[in-house]
Each structure stands twice: as C-alpha cells, then as structure tokens.
Amino acid sequence: MELVSAEPASVDIDEEPQFVTAEHFKLAKRALDVQPGQPQNCNLWFLVRKKDTCNSIVNIAKYFSIKLTQVTLLQHNPALKNECSSLQPSYYVCVATKSSSSTSAPAPTKTSSSTLTSETMINALPTNFAIVGAKGGCANRQNIEVMIRDQPDVFNLLILALDKMYQKNMTDPWSWYQVAGVHGYPLNPWPDPKAVPGKVSSTAGYCPHGSGQIGSPIFTTWHRPYMLMLEQVIVSLGEEIAHQFTDANKEKYVAASKLLRWPYWDWVNSDTQSHTPAIVKQPKIDVTTPSGKKNIDNPLYSYKFKAKESETVFRPGSDFIGTNFTTRGDQIKGNFKTYEDRVDKRIQSDFPTSRVTLYQNLMSEIGFNEFSNALEMGIHGRLHNYLGGSFDGIRGFSIMKSLGYAAFDPIFWLHHNNIDRMMAMWQAANPTLKMRPGKKVDTYQNPGATGNDDLNTPLYPFKHPDGSYWTSDDVSDVQSIWKYGYGYPEVPCDRVTMDSASLDVFTTSRINALYKENVAPKRRFIKRAADSRMVMWDANIVVDRAEFIGSWGISFFIGNSTPSDGQWSSSDNYAGSISYLGMDGVQAMSGVVSNTVPLNPILKAKGILRRSQSQIDDYLAKNLFWKAWDDHGVKDLSSMKTLKVGVTNNQMIVPGDNKKKATFGAARLRTKVTKNRKAGGVKNPSELLNPVDKTGKKVALAVSGPINKIATPSTETAAPPPAPVPVIASQSTNAARAKNRLMMKVRSWLGI
C-alpha cells in the first residue's frame, strides 16, 4: 500500500499517534469511553495528544489514507461545540464511521493494498480471533540484551506475561500450547475445530516450511503475522498485569506496558558474537510481581507441558515421547537434558561466516524470493538444528530441530523475531523489489497444493477483524509494520513520515554500521572514508535434497587433519557449514538446492587471504575438504550422485560511506581447486548452473541461490570481473539500478 503523502512538518510524532478501532476495544474486553454525541456507527477513534490540533489530526489521518476534514471532525464530535480549542489530551475523537469512504484504516484493520480473492474471503465473517498486533501506538522491538539492560521494567513485565501465558488452559486459543501448536503439531485447526472446513493435512502444520519443502516464497511473510500473534497476547497480558500493581509501581509498569514488544536475538551482533543470550540459559529468575518479589521458573529457559498436553501433542514414534519439557542441545535419544554450553559453542563457531553471509544477503539487490530463500536455507535452518543438537555428524534430540514441535521452545520466538527483523531491513533497503510467484507447498489448511503461491495467497490461519485472511500483500511494504504496532531500531517507529528513498538510505546506513567488515584503515580527521575492494572466496554447493533423510548439512574444512565426528566445529580447520531443517526421519522431497559457504574468515585466520590468487587456488586444491550428514549419521560422499562443490571468487566493494550499499561483481569459478576431486568436485560451471537430480535428469534449481551468476572463465586463472561502484540509494533511479543489474549480467555472459 502506498501511503498518502503528508507534509512531514504537519505530522507531530513526538508522541506516537494512536488510532483505536471498535474491534480492538472489543478484543481487549474494555468499554470504549467515548464523548457524548459521537455517531453510533463510529468505528475509528483517535487519542488526542498534548500538542494536537484539529489540523494535526486531519493531517495524520490523511497520512494514513483516512478521508477526514476539519468540518467532518467537528460534526463527528459535537462535544467540541464547533471549537477546535476545546480539544483536550486523552479525548477519543471519532475520525471515521462505517459509512465513511476512507481508502483504508490503520492497523489493526486490513489495508487497501490487498486484492480480496475467493481464497482470502473464505468464511469472511467478523472474528474475535483476529491477528491485530499490539494496540496503543507503535513501539520498537528490542534486542533482548538491550531490553534487559535499558528497559528492566519492560523485561520484568515480559517475563510475567510469558509466565501467565504458559499457565493458560490448553483449550484457550491464546495459550502457549495453542499458539505454538499452530506452527506444526498437534495438527489442530485454529482457533477451534470448526475453523477449517474441508480436507486438512495429516503431516504438515500451518507453517509453509512444515512439509519440508524449503523455498516457499511465503516462508518469511507467513511468520510475520505469526510473530504478531504472540506479541498480541504478550502485550495484552502485560497490560493486565501492569494494572494489578499499586501506587508508584502501577504508574511505572503501566508506562512499561506501552513499550512492551516481543524482543529478538541478534545472532550476528558484534558484541555478543553469536553466543546464546545468557538469560535463556538460566533455569530460575527473580521477578517483581504485584504481590512482591519472587523467584520463579524462567519461562525463557524451557516450556513445561501440562499432563494432557504431553499426552496429546507428541505423535506415535516421536523422539520426544516421555518428556514434559523442552530441551536444547541433546544428542541422546530419551535423555531429555539441556546442554547449553554445547549449543553455545556450536553457534558461536559459525559467527565469522554467518556475519559475512548475512551482510552480503542484506546488501545484495537480489529478488525478495532469493533473499527469503537465503534466510530460510541459511542461518534459520542452522540455528534450528544446532539448538536441537543436530550438528557435526550427530543427530539431535532436542525440540528445536523438529519442524513439528520447534515453536514450543521459547528461543524459537527470539530467533524468528530476528528473521522478521532481517526481512524488515531488507524490505526497507529494497523498496521496489517485491515477492514473485513461487511453487506452492503443502500446509495444514492447503494439502496437496498445486500451482504457485503469490502476494494474494492466504496466510492460514491468520485473519483480519473482517474475517478475511492475511496475505503477503499485507506485509509487502515495510511501512506496514508500524501500523501493526512495532518497529525495529533499523526501521524505527519515529520514521513514520519518511518516504521510501529516505528510509532506504537510513536503513542501509544502519546495516553498514552494524554488520559490514571493517576493511578500511582507521584514519583520524577524514570525513569520508574511501570504498574498499575485496575479493570474496566461497564454496558453492548444489545437491538434490532427496539425498538426505530428515535434517542435514554439509561442513567444510581447510587443513590436513580430519576432525572426529561430534568435534567438527571445534576444529581449527573448520571453515563453515550449510544446514537444513527437515522432517524427522523422513526423506526430503526431490529438488536441487544451492547455497554458499564464505571462505574468507578461515583463509584470513590461517594467513592465506593476502596471498596471490594463484597461490590461494593451489592451497585450496590441497587443503579444502567437506563432510555431509543427516539423521542417519555421516554420509558416504561417493554415494551422493548429485552433490557438486565448486569454489568461486568475486569482487565486493565495501562502501566507505555507510549510506551506500556494497556492490558485487560476477563470480569466477576456480576449477583448479576442485577439478581433481572425486566426491563432488566441479570441473566446469555447467555442473553448478545446470545440475541433475537424483534420477540423473538435468533440472532447474528448485530453490535458487547465490551461485546463479557465475562468469565462464576465459582461462583457468582469470580474475573475477569488477564490481559496480557503490552509490547512495536516493541518488540512484530505478532505471539506473536496472541498467546496473543488466551490465552485471552482460559481463557474466561475456566472461569479463
């Protein structure tokens, strides 16, 4: 949806503008305190702030595409007696009625950008189980470490709200059991047995990853209303708890409740360097409750299933039958213990490569589908498996490695909130790139799917107040997150008046400040640093996922020693991994996928990166090797007919000016490195660009990855083509960007 422009100077955002719908108050189970004489059919109110005037309210309404004039405002609110000077802070003034012709209402109602189809309007009756997000304005979601440090009262309220959610009866649609169960098992319709008429899946949950068919274009967009679902419950419970305090504590916690949003875990933050947050590793926690200080079970450490829940949720043959709580890092079936240090070390070992990969994904002007796939197939899957104990050639037995049960672990939500944050940053930095249609995947409410998913595909089971289903179109513009009550420090609520180009520059500068590698020398008294050219080395992988059972991965090493199983990532020779989340013990569906592992961190650590290109080729030819694993253990590489590994290098220009995006040249295949390898070594680009499936048939990539733009080498030792010069987004037109991408393709075709 394109917001109607308003002059920034006329929109006061010192205090967040708050719109309230009748449905919102109904969901909160509160009576709406309206002014005398307001229309009976009023369905949208505005909370007057200290500095508001009639003119500012009209302009804010205009910004949110609500048709409102000063005359209409006074007509709707006769208590003002036709005098705008009568406005008082905390008044709820009516700004729209059901008969008003506003083009859209602000969140939590459905925006006008969505195309209502027969699918999205199935059972489109008003619902009391709408996903509307947090009410009462926009507040930024915070890094959980920052929340604990800077917002202790908000964090205390978060813990109390989460603990209260855990205590809800399993039949309550807003209980932890039911909300977590939407993702996968126990395969129940939400919010009630009558919610889903017709055929449903007997194996897949609502999540589009749930069938194990990685690469759905709606993977990231589906999780956005899912995160809002949890946040909506937590904020509502937090507000209830805040009002139970007395005296000064009540004022303090009511204020904290207005800032309460679900936090995220930034797994590539330079300060914490991929370590799991300390708070999720402690079984007990001290809290302040309305009745005093207490020491309680830490709800961020584990979820404890109630008796009937554990009897119901685990399917026959599940690895988790016999437990009544979630664990992490367990590698022994039936052990049911948590190994936080093991998990922490495994995740931290990937920090250098994860940081490089994420920065490149955020900076690359690839399409939305490719970015979403890169997240899903990259750090998303790796962290699920690592937290679940599946890594280094050993199968895990903790709940995060299971698609069907992962959402019951509270760390799932910290992890996925950061996935949503990455999506928001990428959307802000690439405002013109939208989702393209992609192959449908089986889900609980859409079994046996055929055709394509697109912007108008229903995101089951999430509905708007009017009963229509959420779609990806609802979240295709990053600005929509503000309407649903949240932002991020990189896409903050106070940028509501920014145009897309300005927000692009702002978010790009934040991405660079947070994640770019400091390659330029530090110089004092220089206002503008120079751009830095780097040559990036990557291991490129293509393989048919049908080669594997359950979750799987491939790890790379550089050195002359082979680490023992279970110790791969602790070896000094460990370079990095790809890791995919699969269905427990089930062979993945056939489809060739691609991915890359950056080699610069290990080459730099070993002092090899500064050598000549030819010397690096020779070094990797002698010292690079790889291992693969799945639920059955370490794989015999010689039996894997579709696995292909090739090393490429390409030029990246890291901008000195943080307002600019990094740029990338086409990749050049280093055939000298892998041509003599029997277990998947690539001899020419066609083996990567035109792969074969398990039957030996040449196929297109089922999930396109970053290796698609490989320049055919004119000679074995050719240097990689140059990267374009970085520019500031607001100074680059769409036509210039298109020309830039075309030039890169031409260079690739010509091999220059």
Instruction: Provide the pLDDT confidence category of residue 100 given band limits of 50, 70 and 90.
Output: very low
In whole angstroms, give the CA distance from residue 30 to residue 94.
17
What per-residue confidence (pLDDT) applies to 115?
A: 41
Give the mean pLDDT of 489-511. 95
List of residues 6+ apart from 417 with CB closer than 8 A: 141, 227, 262, 263, 264, 265
Give the mean pLDDT of 589-597. 87
| 188-197, 305-314, 355-364, 591-600: range with lowest mean pLDDT | 188-197
Q: pLDDT of 690-713, one tens digit each?
A: 888 898 988 776 544 444 455 544
What per-residue confidence (pLDDT) applies to 142?
A: 98
Judge whether residue 505 has pLDDT over 70: yes
Judge whether residue 161 has pLDDT over 90: yes
Q: Which CATH number among 1.10.1280.10, 1.10.3720.10, 1.20.120.80, 3.40.470.10 corresponds to the domain 139-509? A: 1.10.1280.10
What per-residue confidence (pLDDT) applies to 726?
A: 72
DSSP lists the bridge partners of residue 598 as: 538
Instruction: Provide the pLDDT confidence category of residue 526 given band limits of 50, 70 and 90.
Output: very low
Provide, rounded to the nearest whole percent, the portion of the chain with pLDDT above 70. 82
Domains of the chain, by residue range, sit at 8-97, 139-509, 532-750
Q: Is the peptide bond before 78 cis (omega within 30 degrees of 0)?
A: no
What per-residue confidence (pLDDT) applies to 698?
A: 86
Q: What Cα–Cα distance (Å) separates residue 327 from each residue in 184, 335, 339, 395, 478?
A: 18, 10, 8, 14, 35
Give the mean pLDDT of 395-403. 93
Beta-carbon count within 10 A of 194 CB: 8
What per-residue confidence (pLDDT) applies to 582?
A: 83
Give the mean pLDDT of 169-181. 96
In whole angstroms, give the CA distance from residue 388 to residue 551.
10
Instruction: Provide the pLDDT confidence category of residue 39 given band limits of 50, 70 and 90.
Output: confident
What per-residue confidence (pLDDT) applies to 425?
A: 98
What per-residue confidence (pLDDT) applies to 159?
A: 99
Instruction: Look up residue 9 and give its two tokens.
Output: 């100077």
What per-residue confidence (pLDDT) applies to 343?
A: 94
Instruction: State the residue for tokens 């922490």.
Output: 344
Q: What Cα–Cα distance (Å) separates residue 214 from each residue in 376, 536, 579, 655?
A: 7, 27, 12, 33
Please report which helix (H) or strand (E) contains residue 645, including its range. strand 644-654
- Taking all residues of the chain, what is their mean pLDDT, rounded to a whole number? 84
What per-residue confidence (pLDDT) applies to 585?
A: 83
Tell which wins on pLDDT, 511 or 589: 511
What per-residue confidence (pLDDT) applies to 729?
A: 60
| 44-58, 339-353, 396-410: range with lowest mean pLDDT | 44-58
- In terms of Cα–Cα distance, which of 370, 435, 369, 432 is closest to 735? 432
Instruction: Provide the pLDDT confidence category of residue 154 given band limits of 50, 70 and 90.
Output: very high
Beta-carbon count within 10 A of 308 CB: 12
Instruction: Provide the pLDDT confidence category of residue 26 given band limits of 50, 70 and 90.
Output: very low
What per-residue confidence (pLDDT) applies to 60?
A: 77
In whole angstroms, give the CA distance from residue 246 to residue 253.
10
Judge whether residue 583 has pLDDT over 90: no
What per-residue confidence (pLDDT) applies to 207?
A: 92
Highest mean pLDDT among 118-122, 366-370, 731-735: 366-370
Judge whether residue 64 has pLDDT over 90: no
Instruction: Provide the pLDDT confidence category of residue 196 given band limits of 50, 70 and 90.
Output: confident
What per-residue confidence (pLDDT) applies to 709?
A: 52
Q: What Cα–Cα distance (Å) separates residue 348 from each residue in 90, 271, 383, 641, 665?
A: 48, 12, 11, 32, 30
In whole angstroms, give the CA distance from residue 460 to residue 190.
9
Judge whether residue 247 has pLDDT over 50: yes
Judge whether residue 521 has pLDDT over 50: no
Local structure of 529: helix, strand or coil: coil
